[in-house]
Amino acid sequence: MKLTHLDEKKRPKMVDVGQKQESKRVAVASGVIRMSQEAYEAIKEEKGKKGAVLHTAVIAAIMGAKRTPELIPMCHPLLLTSINCDIEDIPSLPGFKLYVTCSLKGRTGVEMEALTGVSIGLLTIYDMVKAIDKAMVIENIRLEKKSGGKSGDFTRPS
């Protein structure tokens, strides 16, 4: 398979999507943050010194998705039509799983926006409770599914 972000002289380039057909495109990404019981309880009970951690993480995830082309060099600026976030409580870790769903009608996919949103949201959780637990682990940031576009649909196998 040929890498699309390199030209014939192997120089970086941004892919020309001008000739692609517009279609509805949706991507869902997720990631997990594991932490100490103390940090987990501080978040659940909203006792962190920096405020409502999970609400702030959702706002950060949305902002991260919107700013993806400023952070990832070859990403196109996109007119996202929707960004939704969901945080799953995982007491057995203890920790949280963040899901970000991005959608639009356009010529290129939104996988990077969803993945960036997850990354920024989880980093925000880390930032807000690092005074309690510097050993938190962010892991399993991944694309769960995507639809639309020439490459078709993808769903991560269970």
Active site residues: 127
CB crowding 74-90: b at 16 or more within 10 Å, else e: ebbebebeebbbebeee
Do you find a cis peptide bond into 91, omega within 30 degrees of 0?
Answer: no
